[in-house]
Amino acid sequence: MKWAIDPNHSTITFTIRHMMTKVRGEMKIKEGWIDSDHDDLSKAGVEVILDAATINTGVEMRDNHLRSADGNFDVANYPTITFKSTRTEGKDPSNFKVIGEVTIHGITKEVALNANFIGEGKDPWGNRRVGFSAETKLNRKDFALTWNQALEAGGFLLGDDVRLDIDVEAIPAPTPAEARTEIEGEAALEAR
């Protein structure tokens, strides 16, 4: 069955070390799909496109710098970040791996997501929804995201490892047009 990820009820957040603390932020999902077979997780597939320009850490000056070409995302030339699964490992829906290729800043690397199926239910309007969560860690330098500054006392301002936390809700929708119509309709209902 094909499920469209609902960007209005899904989050992709990240955490990176900044000196002695952590900075958190998020990016918005443009669109995404989950192909699932409830009886066989190994047949599941995932595709997600993120809008790199929507990076938000809560500090406008920092976000604008992250969007720039100065060793950062360079969103003018690389407007999206993509993930496409290549395989799934494990049979337990509460603990399985989704392995795939992530492309950031024009560079593609394999990544493994530790994932779990949260469940399936109906929203207040009677529409089916499924939920999944996943997490992984990436090294930003693997994707030519190299901006940093040396600290006077030694070391660097930013860490290299970035933790990603993913929570998605999805609705049944075989085509992008059907998904947009359904998601926009539900958003209008919720706004009432």
In whole angstroms, give the CA distance from residue 18 to residue 130. Answer: 35
In whole angstroms, give the CA distance from residue 62 to residue 64. Answer: 5
Looking at mean pLDDT, say which of 41-45, 74-78, 153-157, 169-173 comes out highest. Answer: 74-78
Q: What are the residues whose beta carbons fall under 8 Å from the beta carbon of 11, sequence distance 6 or more? A: 26, 165, 166, 167
Residue with tokens 């930013």: 158
Closest to 134 in 3D by CA, of 78, 84, 94: 94
> What confidence category does residue 177 fall into, taking pLDDT thresholds of 50, 70 and 90?
low
Q: What is the pLDDT of residue 36?
A: 82
At 55-108, the pLDDT tens digits run 999 999 999 999 999 879 999 999 999 999 999 999 888 999 999 999 999 999
At 128-148, the pLDDT tens digits run 999 999 999 999 999 999 888
Q: Name all domains of the chain by residue range, CATH numbers in brackets.
A: 2-191 (2.40.128.110)
Q: What is the mean pLDDT of the chain?
A: 90
Q: What is the pLDDT of residue 175?
A: 66
Closest to 156 in 3D by CA, of 62, 14, 15, 19: 19
Q: What is the pLDDT of residue 48?
A: 96
Q: What are the residues whose beta carbons fall under 8 Å from the beta carbon of 9, sequence distance 6 or more? A: 129, 168, 169
Mean pLDDT value of segment 46-63: 96
* pTM of the complete model: 0.88
Instruction: Tell me which of 176 and 88 has the higher pLDDT.
Output: 88
Mean pLDDT value of segment 14-20: 92
Secondary structure of 103-158 in HEC code, one letter for each residue: EECCEEEEEEEEEEEEEEEECCCCCEEEEEEEEEEEEHHHHCCCCCCECCCCCECE
Q: What is the pLDDT of residue 163?
A: 97
Mean pLDDT value of segment 183-188: 73
